[in-house]
Copies of this chain bind each other. A is one copy, B any other.
Amino acid sequence: MKHGGDILTYKDLYEGEIIDFSSNINPLGPPKGLKEVINNGFEKLIAYPDIQYRELKAEIAEYLGCNNYEVIVGNGAVEIINNVISMFKRVVVFTPCFSEYIKRAEILKKDIVKLPLDKEFNINVNTLIKDLKGGDLVVLGNPNNPTGKRIDIKTLKHIHKVCLFKGAFLLLDEAFFEFCPEDYDSISIFKNSKNVCIIRAATKFFGLPGIRLGYAFSNEDIVNKFENITPPWSVNAYADIAGRYIFRQHEYIKDSKEYIKRQREFMLSKLREIEDIEVYDTHTNFILIKLLKKTENEVFNSMISKGILIRKASSFEGLNNRYIRVAVKSEKQNEKLIQFLKECI
């Protein structure tokens, strides 16, 4: 199981509609009104999207609180991860992490340094200091996938200082940013800093994995370098249209954040009542669970037989077959998950 959301592969294992807890998408769905915006945009398909994505970038810059020329757009966050990695010689990650950091680096034939997170899945900066070299790229999920943990602000600033000192570059993958508590915004923090790129995405929070819209903040020189190496028109016309609508939906953004917060707290407390599992803290809309008595396959099989698709986590380097990951979904779905998980564990 390389990625979540692959319902089609498992559809014959359950008669009826499978609930997908393996991908981490806003359970409220996309913002209201988007359907009309998209349906009115059909005519945009018959021309190329603006090759410079000028209006889209202006809209994102407004949302992020930065300048237009500091914005990158891409075919999902994963294209941005790939293309930024391609600019560096060596990539440093902390495991477990989103598998594509390592996979893209391997495909691009980069040297890779894999450092372990500590037992609580936090970053030990001293480990990084020891191994980091000038010219390196440090790729960190913030919050990290599959652990759900956000880097605390003090550690984050420390890591960036270390990067500056060593002449390394920091790539923060914040595809799940909006689901997190609003204690800090890394873009405000690093607004005038060098050697940093911060990726966000429409995929998860705006409930639009099918539309493929990733974006990022970085310095003008990195933005220019990115534009230069990225194939033309990599963002499709519908992603362009949607991106000019969704970031203005302030009510939807507020409601989604509150909903996820409530459901996350509900799930954490209910899951922690179940014996023989360890439920890790999370700042976002998915939860990593350690199975103390069963294997991921045992739990996966009994859950899918009840119509629930969970994410086996052994494919994440640094984890074994004793971990699963589940999304935070709608109240009813979450209750179902908890009930069935209780029964099978």
Contact = CB atoms under 8 A, between A and B. Distances in A.
A239 B49 CA distance: 14
A181 interface: no
Contacts of A8: 50, 52, 54
Nearest to A74: B231
A151 interface: no
A277 interface: no
A209 B48 contact: yes
B3 A51 contact: yes
Interface stretch (A22-30, A166-174, A188-196, A333-341): A22-30
A14 to B, nearest CB: 16
Contact of A78 (B46, B50, B211, B233): B233
Interface stretch (A35-43, A265-273, A294-302): A35-43
A79 to B, nearest CB: 6
Contacts of A104: 231
A231 B30 contact: no
B76 A47 contact: no
A160 to B, nearest CB: 26
Contacts of A54: 8
Interface in A232-251: 232-234, 236-240
Contact of A45 (B45, B100, B209, B240): B209
Given A8-B50, A236-B239, A210 B39 contact: no
A96 to B, nearest CB: 18
B234 A236 contact: no
Contact of A49 (B38, B47, B210, B228): B210
A153 B49 CA distance: 35
Contacts of A29: 46
A44 interface: yes
A193 to B, nearest CB: 27
A45 B210 contact: yes
Interface in A183-242: 207-212, 228-229, 231-234, 236-240
A20 interface: yes
Interface of A: 2-3, 5-9, 20, 23, 25, 29-30, 35, 38-39, 42, 44-52, 54, 75-76, 78-79, 82, 100, 104, 107, 207-212, 228-229, 231-234, 236-240
23 contacts: A6-B50, A8-B50, A8-B54, A9-B52, A23-B47, A25-B47, A38-B39, A39-B39, A45-B209, A45-B211, A48-B209, A75-B75, A75-B212, A75-B236, A76-B233, A78-B231, A78-B232, A79-B234, A82-B231, A104-B231, A210-B238, A236-B236, A236-B239
